[in-house]
């Protein structure tokens, strides 16, 4: 299946029709979803009728930027969420409701249908993430090119990371909150950054994707793009392999050197052979070629370089969460559940799809920033003439990327997150907020906002792994808090995107998480497009269902 932008262009140009694209999507769902369980419901009759309306509107001269694009809609949101309504008005055609978690677990990084648990398209024995589980799985398997999601603690970004696709959380406030606490916001899961930017132009408006594309400006302007790297935000426990894969992808982007074609994970690579700890603040990485530099936060990195102002003493600010090393919280996994706005045709949880196989696309030759794809950039293989080379991006010019390792000094936001969910039906009164902020040291939220403000005063972006852990099994994450690196930004409201970074040694996708200052969504998406140009990933995620197809009911 082609991407949303390509599909719309084909339909708008007369090379295809909405009816044909929807027929193809329904066939893909019928063949693939019997083993994937990404769709809680499929709506073939409604989808065909809507496709006919789109074709008729095009014949009348309507301008529909998403003409004929088949989409999935998250079951808790349905077709009545603001993002879904705007997508449909732009010509998108919902083909079904994607799965979400069922009752009975405090962790929400999973999904289920009436036929069983939703499988990860890369490995059927692990979860696709959640709570937008079916949206991630459906896009990751190529059943649809775009699906709606919502993110109150990471529910868009985590499934995107674990399914090897793109997930975007806009700046809080650009869309109506999806929960009374004001933490959850709608967003897309898509197969490419181009499709995310198309979503943003339709749902958020052109300003959300407009960015300075003057020749020589790059995504970061004449000074280049300054990226602060933190594997743990100062408090989370992160699997070392996850941190290595995400960090290597970031350096691959910065070096912009060609990578070898992606093989299946598991083969030896220079990166895996080198091993060793990730750089800490103050450590130099690589040979210094090109625009890559890793230096001490607050210290002098190199003449003309930069350093985030986040090194001041914070010993007097108490941690309101469980403190450094608190990336594990027993029983916690993701956001709570439906908020009541979404309505979908029929009853969610009924059968959808027909007998068939999960299948998957053929192996692609596109280079990806996985262990095999980045090893040369990290360990020295095939660097000739590559350091610092600009790769044309969707912004019109390749950016000079400067990377600095930092310790942002943030503290665990768990207590703040739960407090916001608990007070007065979710929304904290100004009086209560003022009372908490007046306490000695303020709140963890105050502390984290101050730290991020200081970081973004000197950095354009913050980069982390999307999750601290690989996809967990269908029995749950245990005591691992999968949201450890995402839910902070639901509290602070910063825009963030998860991008495919590569694989673990046993073949599970890893996400690279980019965070931008408030209302710098255009910069964030331009940078994501630049990353994609330097580190292209396979057009669909799962080459083969390489684990047993049975998933728990």
Q: Give per-residue pLDDT as tens, 119-175.
A: 999 999 999 999 999 999 999 999 999 999 999 999 999 999 999 999 999 999 999
Q: Is the pLDDT of residue 346 over 50?
A: no
Q: Is the pLDDT of residue 266 over 60?
A: no
Would residue 375 count as lying in a domain? no
Would residue 25 count as lying in a domain? yes
**Angle 44-59/4-12 helices, nearest 10 degrees?**
50
- Count the helix, strand and coil residues of the chain and give each as a percent rounded to the nearest 5: 30, 15, 55
Q: Is the pLDDT of residue 548 over 70?
A: no
CB contact at 8 A, 34 and 357: yes
Q: Is the pLDDT of residue 350 over 50?
A: no
Q: From the candidates 74, 135, 498, 542, which is the catalytic residue? A: 74
CA distance 405 to 480: 25
Would residue 278 count as lying in a domain? no
CATH code of the domain in which 30 resides:
3.90.1300.10
Which has the higher per-residue pLDDT, 487 or 323? 487
Q: Is the pLDDT of residue 368 over 90?
A: no
* pLDDT computed for residue 398 by the predictor: 54
Q: What is the DSSP string of 329-382?
A: -TT--S-----S--B-SS-TTS--S-S-----PPPP----SSHHHHHHHHH-TT
* pLDDT computed for residue 108 by the predictor: 78
Nearest to 541 by CA among 173, 144, 239, 254: 144
**The token pair that represents 19 in the structure block:** 């009816």
Which has the higher per-residue pLDDT, 326 or 533? 533
* pLDDT computed for residue 262 by the predictor: 27
Q: Is the pLDDT of residue 325 over 70?
A: no
pLDDT above 90 covers a percentage of the chain that reads 58
Mean pLDDT (the chain, rounded): 74
pLDDT, tens digit, 9 for 90 and up, residues 398-442: 558 999 999 999 999 999 999 988 875 545 555 455 445 444 567
Which has the higher per-residue pLDDT, 367 or 150? 150
* pLDDT computed for residue 219 by the predictor: 61
Would residue 432 count as lying in a domain? yes
pLDDT, tens digit, 9 for 90 and up, residues 166-209: 999 999 999 999 889 999 999 999 999 999 999 999 999 987 88
CA distance 417 to 434: 17
Minimum mean pLDDT range among 135-144, 292-301, 310-319, 465-474: 310-319
pLDDT, tens digit, 9 for 90 and up, residues 491-507: 999 999 999 999 999 99
Which has the higher per-residue pLDDT, 420 or 210? 420
Instruction: For residue 427, give the 3-state DSSP assignment.
Output: coil
Q: What angle do CA 288, 291, 296 make, to 5 degrees?
A: 65
Nearest to 525 by CA among 534, 535, 515: 515
What confidence category does residue 221 fall into, taking pLDDT thresholds of 50, 70 and 90? low
Would residue 262 count as lying in a domain? no
* pLDDT computed for residue 427 by the predictor: 52
Q: From the candidates 17, 81, 127, 131, which is the catalytic residue? A: 131
Whether residue 169 lies in the annotated active site: no
What confidence category does residue 371 fall into, taking pLDDT thresholds of 50, 70 and 90? very low
pLDDT, tens digit, 9 for 90 and up, residues 22-63: 999 999 999 999 999 999 999 999 999 999 999 999 999 999
Q: Is the pLDDT of residue 99 over 80?
A: yes
As to burial, measured by CB atoms within 10 angstroms (0-12 exposed, 13-18 middle, 19+ buried), residue 222 is exposed
pLDDT above 70 covers a percentage of the chain that reads 66
Residue 98's contacts (CB-CB under 8 Å, 6 or more residues apart) are: 38, 39, 40, 72, 73, 74, 75, 111, 132, 133, 134, 135, 137, 138, 147, 148
Name the residue with tokens 């020295």.
380
Helices first, then strands: H and E counts in the chain = 15, 13
CB contact at 8 A, 196 and 525: yes
CB contact at 8 A, 482 and 464: no
Instruction: For residue 454, give the 3-state DSSP assignment.
Output: helix
Whether residue 131 lies in the annotated active site: yes
* pLDDT computed for residue 441 by the predictor: 61
User: What is the domain extent for residue 23?
Assistant: 4-256+399-534
Q: From the candidates 81, 132, 155, 293, which is the catalytic residue? A: 155
Would residue 552 count as lying in a domain? no
What confidence category does residue 292 fall into, taking pLDDT thresholds of 50, 70 and 90? very low
Would residue 325 count as lying in a domain? no
Would residue 343 count as lying in a domain? no
Looking at the 3D structure of the chain, how many domains does it have? 1
């Amino acid at each position: 299946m082609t991407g949303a932008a390509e599909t719309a262009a084909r339909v708008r140009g007369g090379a295809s029709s909405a009816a044909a694209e929807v027929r193809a999507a329904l066939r893909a769902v019928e063949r693939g979803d019997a083993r994937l369980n990404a769709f809680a419901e499929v709506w073939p009759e409604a989808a065909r009728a809507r496709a006919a309306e789109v074709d008729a509107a095009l014949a009348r001269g309507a301008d529909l930027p998403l003409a004929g694009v088949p989409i999935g809609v998250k079951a808790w949101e349905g077709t009545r969420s603001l993002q879904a309504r705007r997508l449909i008005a732009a010509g998108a055609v919902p083909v079904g409701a994607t799965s979400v978690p069922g009752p009975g677990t405090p962790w929400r990084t999973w999904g289920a249908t009436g036929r069983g648990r939703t499988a990860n398209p890369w490995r059927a024995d692990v979860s696709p993430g959640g709570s937008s589980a079916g949206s991630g799985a459906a896009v990751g398997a190529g059943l649809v090119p775009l699906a709606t999601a919502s993110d109150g603690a990471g529910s868009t970004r985590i499934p995107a990371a674990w399914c090897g696709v793109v997930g975007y959380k806009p700046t809080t406030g650009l869309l109506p909150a999806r929960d009374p606490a004001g933490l959850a916001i709608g967003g897309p899961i898509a197969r490419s950054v181009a499709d995310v930017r198309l979503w943003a132009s339709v749902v958020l408006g052109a300003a959300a994707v407009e960015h300075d594309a003057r020749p020589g400006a790059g995504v970061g302007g004449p000074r280049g793009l300054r990226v602060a790297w933190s594997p743990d935000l100062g408090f989370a426990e992160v699997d070392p392999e996850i941190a290595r894969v995400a960090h290597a992808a970031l350096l691959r982007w910065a070096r912009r050197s060609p990578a070898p074609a992606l093989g299946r994970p598991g083969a030896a690579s220079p990166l895996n052979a080198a091993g060793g700890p990730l750089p800490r603040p103050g450590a130099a990485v690589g040979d210094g070629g090109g625009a890559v530099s890793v230096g001490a936060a607050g210290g002098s990195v190199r003449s003309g370089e930069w350093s985030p102002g986040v090194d001041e003493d914070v010993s007097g600010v108490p941690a309101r969460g469980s403190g450094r090393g608190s990336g594990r919280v027993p029983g916690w996994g993701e956001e709570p559940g439906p908020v009541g706005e979404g309505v979908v045709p029929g009853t969610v949880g009924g059968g959808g799809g027909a007998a068939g196989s999960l299948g998957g696309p053929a192996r692609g030759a596109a280079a990806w920033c996985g262990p095999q794809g980045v090893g040369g950039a990290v360990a020295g293989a095939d660097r000739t003439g590559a350091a610092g080379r600009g790769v044309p991006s969707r912004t019109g010019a390749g950016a000079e990327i400067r990377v600095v390792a930092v310790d942002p000094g943030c503290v665990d936001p768990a207590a703040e997150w739960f407090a916001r969910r608990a007070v007065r039906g979710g929304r904290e009164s100004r009086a209560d907020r003022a009372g908490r902020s007046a306490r000695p040291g303020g709140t963890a939220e105050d502390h984290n906002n101050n730290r991020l403000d200081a970081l973004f005063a000197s950095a354009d972006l913050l980069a982390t792994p999307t999750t601290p852990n690989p996809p967990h099994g269908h029995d749950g994450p245990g005591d691992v808090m999968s949201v450890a690196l995402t839910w902070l930004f639901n509290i602070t409201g910063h825009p963030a995107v998860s991008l495919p970074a590569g694989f673990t040694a046993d073949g599970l996708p890893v996400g690279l998480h980019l965070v931008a200052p408030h209302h710098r969504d255009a910069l964030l998406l331009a940078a994501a497009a630049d990353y994609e140009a330097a580190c292209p990933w396979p057009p669909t995620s799962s080459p083969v269902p390489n684990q047993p197809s049975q998933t728990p009911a």
